[in-house]
Chain A
Amino acid sequence: MMNSTIQTNIARLQIMKAKVLAALRKGENYELKTELNSEYKERRKEAVRRVIANMTVGKDVSSLFTDVLKNMHTDDLEIKKLIYLYLINYAKTQPDLVILAINTFVKDAEDTNPLIRALAIRTMGCLHVQEVLDYLCDPLHKCLKDTNPYVRKTAVMCVAKVYDLSVDVAEDNGFVESVREALSDSNSMVVSNAVSALVEMNDMSRHHDVWRLEANTVGKLLTAINECIEWGQIAILETLVDYTPRDEKEAENICERLLPRLQHANGSVVLTTVRLLLKYEKHVHRADLLAQFSKKMVPPLITLLSSDPEIQYVALRNINIILQRHPKLLSKEIRVFFCRYNDPIYVKYEKLDVLVRICSERNTEPLLNELKEYAKEVDMDFVSRAVQAISRLAIRYETAAENAIKVLLELLETRANHIVQSCMVALQDILRRYPRRFDSLVDGLCEYVDDVNEPEARAALIWILGEYSESVSNISNILTSFLESFLEEEDSGVQLALINAAVKFFLKSPQQGQTLVLKALQTATEKCANPDVRDRAYIYWRLLSADPNAARAVALAEKPAIELENVDLSPQLLEELVNELGCVSSVLQKPARLFVYSLAEKAGVPRDSGISAMGLDDADSVAAGAGDAAGSSSAGIDASNEGEPELLISF
């Protein structure tokens, strides 16, 4: 009883609170209305500020439209700007009322102060209302021919907005033509804005025929670029991406004129320039020039790595792509990519990828030591990637194998759970790559039998034990103890590895292994629920009973050396991403048509399904050496087991 009364009371209170708040809010608008009509200028100004403040936090202040409008006629620039912001916000919902403001706009567009002229023309464009178009044309004509470049550059951008509203109005009034002419303007800011406007209109137009970059314009733009501020430079550089030089001479010339852009403080300017150089260098054949381009590209790329982490990330993703085109480009700079403790994790991952990619045979040692340090960090995912990188280095460079194993054994000694798991998998890969070279260390690994508690690591250790059973002193005991928990094993990969290991052990030392292999095959065939495991056991059983020699040829066959799985992008995708270097697609490493809606429709790509079709490799699986991976030793089987093709599946 008590409870329910309290609850009703609370509910009542809440309703009252809501009512009071609503009244207050209404009251606030009412109060603002009075203030907006105050006879004191300062109070009106403060009221306008508060109206805009309310607007930005989402309160409805549209009822004050006419009162706000009354204040528009002022020579206080701040108030004017704020009221214009208000108009832009409510123009679409109240287009009829905006017409009331038109007179002021038209008047402002002829003000003596160029700032106000520009502001008026920009705002009229931003209103984005059909009703305004008719009133906009005259002022726009005047502003496009204004003596002040700040006004001209604003007017040029306004044309794109008009074009968006009505192509006909923009074309018929010659606005588009005026923008084309603005490309030859004496002021570089106007030129770069004209470029932006043309590109934008081109994108909007149905046939993309508003503008095409011609050779003579390229020259003009490259001259203008020297005087532009960074954002103008970016606009111009980006349009050059779509230009194909007519001949080698022109390509050389463009590249030479682009080189100074590499020295800009803005990372986007630098990266877009690199993108252009990579694009145009395909047309250049002079070796000295190409070498010069490469040399000049390196320092600015390195500098990007001392910027903020966000910029580093984008730089690293792109460096990863550039390296697939120019593998040697950064090989001397390996230390720059060493991870710092306080790097965000996404920067660390990218650095790790680049490190393994650019490491040459000469500097495996410092890198291995570095990776050892990473493996001691707290983030478990990073640790396992670092350990994986160690095995990748060992697989790639034979000279690094011994060192890598030394590092891995040291790491194992820490006995930290997640380190042990990753190290075991890494060791398996290396042992698989260099068979019979590191027999002596296998016995020592048995010490970690109780530490491997992740399926992949356990399968790895069992594989090593089976492969090197003759080097392990108490192999029989270890395998038996694994076998005891065979049925509790959740992962079929471990079960398969165990059967394989038992068979190998038996074939190598039949007397010791007999009981073990029988027990393994029996348990697997009779009690195991997994059909794959059962089938594998049956096959072995029959093979062993029918022809032990054939079994030997199969189970103990020499395996082909594993190689690093290709972590590169497919050539086709790489080409696409190099062309889009520095863009969203190169950072996400998938082509634009998969995430830009309009492009997707154009290309007719089934959404989201194209990724695998494009050959995007799963970068996570690095070494193909998952032990007895399916099909990897088919060569050895073919030789001795004709007529039993089904065996192919099991090794």
Chain B
Amino acid sequence: MTVDSLFILNTSGTSVIQKHWCDDVSIRRASLVVVPAFTKYLRSFAAMHDAEPVWSAPLDTVCIHIQRKELVYLGIVSQEIPPLEVLELLEGVDQALTEYIGLLSEVTIKENFTTVYQLLSEMVDSGCAVTTDTSVLRGLVPVPSLVNRVIENVSGIGIGTEKRPDVNTSSTPWRAQGIRHTNNEFFVDIVEKIDAIVNSNGSVVSYDVSGDIGCKSRLSGMPDLLLALNRPEVMDDVAFHPCVRINKWENEGVIGFVPPDGQFKLASFHVATDASPRILPIYVHATTTRQELARTIELSAEVGQCGGRPIEKVQVRVPLPSQAYNIRVQCKAGTYTVSNGRTSQVEWFMKTLKAGDRSSRLVIQYFVRQSAVTNAVAGNSSPQAVSSDQDMAQEAFVDFEVAGYSVSSIKVDSLKLMRESYKLFKGVRYITKAGSFQVRF
């Protein structure tokens, strides 16, 4: 038994739904003692997401949790088990529920609780994770949809009786027999993400490229595909969908697989650090100045190296320190928003950024609350020496997308179809995106 109990809580710690695989005493212990203690633990953090995901809870239990949007998924454990297993399971529950229900919230979960319950009992049997693969789950639990409900209500016939889900027990559990499509299509998306930290002087502190090969398959029968890439050696650490024959990849460097139907992630990879020069598709510069209580940040964005393509969906987010007030922004290109929460932030959007765009600048000006400065100066004999960095914004987070460009220059060489004889329409797209892209001031 891996997990004793699974709770989905809202952000204030109230249980939205719970399921148990343990005896009555443990159930009562979990809901009367452990969960309240856990809620208290979460509240003890100023920012809830700073709570450690593995927490040694009262009564010899361990609380393992993840936080996703408005919900907290909590697994209660009383054995020596791998927490990653629980974390991956909770993540899988979140993904399956999202796929079934759409936008997850306390309300939508309660509205669809029968589906949630059915899913949970298929995903976990006697406390052990059984499956989290939604293509398998779809065969076991019908997807709730407005259409299904309407048909049921009008005709009085349950969809479940008409199209009874059937288990697929073939040697390819991810693909059912007898799939038919009128047009046979297969699309490959190579999406690469750049994680980088760039220093104020433009030097790159850390740089990392990882990518996903996403596929959309609409193929009939039992197709067997062979996908060859131009530089497989650049891919450092590849994790494959279970449909991929790992030995073939190890020996020949090609990806052989019988694809699941629909959308799926074929592989995720990491680009070997020595194989990738540190290419930055976008440069963001910042100059900061301070004058008495005023602070000014001038941002400019420029196209870097990206095969001459325009950069799309540029978004620069600058969190401001808590002392900032009276924030004013001047924007020469694109649009911006200023949000005032516990701490304020400025967001700058540009639909496209082309090479040679000179006017893409943004100036942020704000004032620092007097009290903050005096506190810093207190007991300080030389006020002009106050250069505390605490009241200056520290960094910007940059988001962007470059379509048709692969930063690692990994390309699809060929895609061959075997075992089936129909004509297949192929499509390949490349996208380079920002992962966690951070520019320090």
Q: Which residue numbers of A lie inside 8 Å of B, CB to CB?
A: 40-42, 45, 49, 52-53, 56, 75-79, 81-82, 85, 92, 113-115, 118, 122, 125-126, 148-150, 154, 157, 160-161, 187, 189, 196, 200, 226-227, 229-231, 234-235, 238, 260, 263-268, 271-272, 299-300, 302-303, 306, 308-311, 313-315, 335-336, 338, 340-342, 344-346, 366, 370, 373, 376-378, 413-417, 450-451, 453, 580, 582-585, 587-588, 592, 595-597, 599-600
Contact = CB atoms under 8 A, between A and B. Distances in A.
Contacts of A341: 394-395, 397, 438
B210 A52 contact: no
B233 interface: no
B206 A229 contact: no
A41 to B, nearest CB: 6
B81 A584 contact: yes
Contacts of B330: none
Interface string B371-388: 000001001110001111
A114 B54 contact: no
Given A148-B169, A338-B197, 8 more contacts: A56-B117, A85-B117, A114-B166, A196-B128, A263-B240, A311-B87, A335-B207, A370-B205
Nearest to A84: B121
B62 interface: yes
Nearest to A261: B246
A265 B241 contact: yes
Interface string B208-250: 1010000000000000000000000000111111100011001
B351 to A, nearest CB: 25
B133 interface: yes
14 contacts: A53-B110, A81-B118, A234-B129, A260-B246, A263-B237, A264-B240, A265-B239, A267-B84, A299-B236, A336-B206, A415-B376, A416-B390, A450-B379, A595-B56
Contact of A41 (B18, B82, B156): B156
A418 to B, nearest CB: 10
A189 B210 CA distance: 32
Q: Which residue, B82, B268, B395, has most C-beta atoms of chain A within 10 A?
A: B82
A77 B114 contact: no
Interface stretch (B157-165, B184-192, B291-299, B407-415): B157-165
Contacts of B270: 299, 302-303, 306
Contact of B82 (A113, A200, A272): A272
Contacts of B386: 415
Contact of A313 (B53, B62, B125, B380): B53
- Interface of chain A, main secondary structure: helix
Contacts of A377: 394
Contacts of B82: 234, 238, 268, 271-272, 582-584
B83 A314 contact: yes
Closest 6 CB pairs of A and B: A299-B237, A310-B53, A265-B239, A592-B80, A268-B84, A597-B60
Given A52-B113, A584-B62, A595-B60, A78 B77 contact: no
A45 B376 CA distance: 67
Given A300-B237, A342-B397, A314 B114 contact: no
B169 to A, nearest CB: 5
B10 interface: no
A592 B270 CA distance: 34
Contacts of B121: 81, 85
Contacts of B173: 189, 229
Given A40-B156, A75-B161, A338-B197, A271 B169 contact: no
Contacts of B53: 309-310, 313-314, 346
Contacts of B394: 341, 376-377
Nearest to A411: B389
Give the interface size bracket for B toward A: 35 or more
Given A335-B205, A376-B389, A415-B385, A340 B164 contact: no
B17 interface: yes
A125 B53 CA distance: 32
Nearest to A114: B167
Contact of B208 (A187, A263, A306): A306
A562 B153 CA distance: 79
Interface of B: 1, 17-18, 24, 47, 49-54, 56, 60, 62, 65-66, 77-85, 87-88, 91, 110, 113-114, 117-118, 121, 125-126, 128-133, 136, 140, 142, 152-153, 156, 158, 160-161, 164-167, 169, 171, 173, 195, 197, 205-208, 210, 236-242, 246-247, 250, 265, 268, 270, 321-322, 376, 379-381, 385-390, 394-395, 397, 435-436, 438, 440
Given A299-B237, A378-B390, A584-B62, A235 B80 contact: no
Contacts of A271: 82, 84
Given A92-B24, A234-B85, A378 B321 contact: yes
B216 to A, nearest CB: 18
A82 B18 CA distance: 15
B208 A268 contact: no
Given A584-B77, A595-B56, A597-B60, A115 B167 contact: yes
A312 B390 CA distance: 28
A378 B397 CA distance: 17
A341 B387 CA distance: 21
A254 to B, nearest CB: 17
B113 A56 contact: yes
Contacts of A200: 1, 126
A154 B167 CA distance: 13
Contact of B164 (A113, A336, A600): A113
B389 A414 contact: yes
Given A415-B376, A587-B54, A42 B153 contact: yes
Given A306-B208, A341-B394, A584 B388 contact: no
A107 to B, nearest CB: 17
Contacts of B165: 77, 115
Nearest to A148: B169
A265 B246 CA distance: 12
Nearest to A306: B210
A303 B240 CA distance: 13
A416 B376 contact: yes
A314 B160 contact: no
B394 to A, nearest CB: 7
Given A76-B158, A78-B114, A416-B388, A231 B321 contact: no
Contact of B160 (A49, A53, A77): A77
Contacts of A303: 210, 237, 239, 268, 270
B80 A599 contact: yes
A102 to B, nearest CB: 20
Nearest to B247: A260
Contacts of B24: 92
Given A340-B438, A451-B379, A413 B131 contact: no
Contact of B380 (A226, A235, A450): A450
A150 B81 contact: no
Contacts of A346: 50-53
A235 B85 CA distance: 10
B56 A229 contact: no
Contact of B126 (A41, A49, A160): A160
Contact of B205 (A160, A230, A308, A338): A338
A29 B348 CA distance: 55
B138 to A, nearest CB: 13
B58 to A, nearest CB: 11
Nearest to B24: A92
A331 to B, nearest CB: 13
Contacts of B142: 78
Contacts of A580: 80
A231 B237 contact: no
A196 B133 CA distance: 19
Nearest to B237: A299
Given A53-B114, A78-B142, A414 B169 contact: no
Given A78-B118, A157-B125, A345 B50 contact: yes
A302 B272 CA distance: 11
A51 B173 CA distance: 34
